[in-house]
Structure 1
């Protein structure tokens, strides 16, 4: 277990309103008035205003973190509300960063929120993370996890990481350059290589217990508060694994990989491909007509072309938000030995030489299926952004925030 010195210097003396608001913190050994001033002076970045980012943001705001950055390029959907508690019904269709900003203001008007309504990329991540004392990574993309970890290691800041799947969660604190005498551990030490594409289904495919997001996200917020104030012992060097069904926590010791070279620069690529997506086996979209923009698909439907749309979402997703006229074949049909070939044969028969526009919720599953169909000689094109992008397109421009 690792006790660390406080990460942030104390800010100004607390005012009367702050003394009243944070009274229960002020009585805590390890926090107290000095720790509360550290929280007020802290700058914490939360990547992802989703299932894990939502409770983390709310509790960090309630705790009095002075500046909260929020990174997310998505808009609020109805299906988010089951677990993303920072958003409400009236926020559907709004940018998640704006929704989170307003929720934080309701919890604590003393907190400054900095919106980053964008997807982190190798060209932007260092600029976004610079100036923050630590980062919380609650994303569900392996490419983004490696990107955030690498950027945090380069900048020398700690990264509190969390992940969830169905009924299980994981939390740890990574820091490539901790204080002298403390072994540094990063995401790459624990997960040196990403899983094969499709081996770890996303929440839309595998599902996730909504209430569990509160458990894991709250632990992430607790880790951040401990790092800022120096209270207790951090999860640096430990990986906490939560099983919601058994209601158990396990802790695994993790250590730096002595064979791993420190990250001193981000991955680079060529031809416009995202090097982190390539590293995770997703690769660039092949040259040619391999992708269909939602606007292009809408135009094809409007002019009477009757494009063939292959919907690879799960049946319950289709029932909740059907795409009229699409043929439904869940993406899992394209992964098993034997079933993949039969599914491709069915699609080829339906297509009869026509292009196939493959649709899922956000574009990841459709890209994988489209790639498999192209390997089978079928002109398959992934609908960029999936149903999420289609909903935004159908609703028109997002109102200015």
Structure 2
């Protein structure tokens, strides 16, 4: 048995779910997920993936916690202010899952760090909510053949989708670039951010990532989910892969930080 008797007891309610069982819990333990961004969207993703028993969670974030982060990042505590998000998110996982193995990575996602960041992970979850980072991470996932989940929350509106997912014929699904026209419609740049909409979206992302890890075929492939929390509406967009565009990314490789419009920050001093 891959998991111990203590772990089986810890996760007994999940194991009791019909169709889930011990085998699926063991799959989660053997899984490796990288979450880039431990802010409003990344916090619930990290928290629920960790609590659910995902074996290894990489947490890539170079930022520190601010007081105004608390309403939408409840994985952190007030006494964590000015501490590194990645480190504190990792330490919090032990509070809900003593078998967790988080790996804080105090790194910015930039062209020269992407190969290191992606190495060894089964799926990448981009919670940066930052267009230049989305483009960079998308291209890196295409080049390194990694499935990717991206999401954003803007006030009452949110979206998330699965990109570069493996298909039954051996090809990959649509990339983030293939869905940009749709995601632009969900962007609302009015000021403000609600904690509950971030949390609700993060939990939906975590649910679909778990389904992917245990081989449930329904969920992320060629799908983009739009959510309007104010009017309680949900829209499922079917995505189509732009094969020429995907091949162009593979041919060109990663662009420069300037080409992505990415502002490079100084390396974090631990």
Same fold (TM over 0.5): yes
Q: In the alignment, which residue of structure 1 is the partner of 2:144?
A: 155
Q: Which residue, out of 236, 245, 248, partners 2:221?
A: 236
The C-alpha deviation readout for 1:143-195, integer Å capped at 9, x for no partner, is: 10011111111221211111110111101111254442666111011117997
Find the aligned partners of 2:227 and 2:181 in 1 and give their Cα distance. Answer: 22
Give the structure with higher Rg (CA).
1
Q: In the alignment, which residue of structure 2 is the partner of 1:23?
A: 12
Give the secondary-structure state (helix, strand or coil) at the position aligned to 1:170: strand
Give the secondary-structure state (helix, strand or coil) at the position aligned to 1:144: helix
Asked if 1 retains the 8 angstrom alpha-carbon contact of 2:129 and 2:152, the reply is yes
Asked if 2 retains the 8 angstrom alpha-carbon contact of 1:173 and 1:223, the reply is no
Q: Which residue, out of 252, 255, 258, partners 1:268?
A: 255
> In angstroms, what is the RMSD of aligned CA positions?
2.5
Asked if 1 retains the 8 angstrom alpha-carbon contact of 2:57 and 2:103, the reply is yes
Q: Which residue, out of 119, 131, 149, partners 1:142?
A: 131
User: Does 1 or 2 have the higher relative contact order (CA < 8 Å, sep 6+)?
Assistant: 2
Residues 1:206 and 2:191 are matched in the alignment: yes
Q: In the alignment, which residue of structure 2 is the partner of 1:277?
A: 261
Distance apart, 1:206 and its partner CA = 2.0
Find the aligned partners of 1:193 and 1:33 in 2 and give their Cα distance. Answer: 39
Q: Which residue, out of 104, 109, 122, partners 1:120?
A: 109
- After TM superposition, list the pairs within 5 Å mapping 1:62-77 onto structure 2: 62-77=51-66
Residues 1:95 and 2:84 are matched in the alignment: yes
Asked if 1 retains the 8 angstrom alpha-carbon contact of 2:60 and 2:106, the reply is yes
- TM-score, normalised with respect to structure 1: 0.62
Distance apart, 1:250 and its partner CA = 1.2
Asked if 2 retains the 8 angstrom alpha-carbon contact of 1:167 and 1:243, the reply is yes
Give the secondary-structure state (helix, strand or coil) at the position aligned to 1:249: strand
Q: In the alignment, which residue of structure 1 is the partner of 2:237?
A: 252
Find the aligned partners of 1:162 and 1:73 in 2 and give their Cα distance. Answer: 19
Find the aligned partners of 1:274 and 1:108 in 2 and give their Cα distance. Answer: 40
- Structure 1 segments unaligned to the other structure (5+ residues): 1-11, 285-383, 386-396
- After TM superposition, list the pairs within 5 Å mapping 1:218-233 onto structure 2: 218-231=203-216, 233=218
Q: Which residue, out of 2, 17, 37, partners 1:48?
A: 37
- Structure 2 segments unaligned to the other structure (5+ residues): none
The C-alpha deviation readout for 1:356-397, integer Å capped at 9, x for no partner, is: xxxxxxxxxxxxxxxxxxxxxxxxxxxx89xxxxxxxxxxx9
Asked if 1 retains the 8 angstrom alpha-carbon contact of 2:28 and 2:210, the reply is yes
Distance apart, 1:235 and its partner CA = 2.2
Asked if 1 retains the 8 angstrom alpha-carbon contact of 2:142 and 2:246, the reply is no
Shift in CA distance, 133/49, structure 1 to aligned 2, threshold 3 Å: same
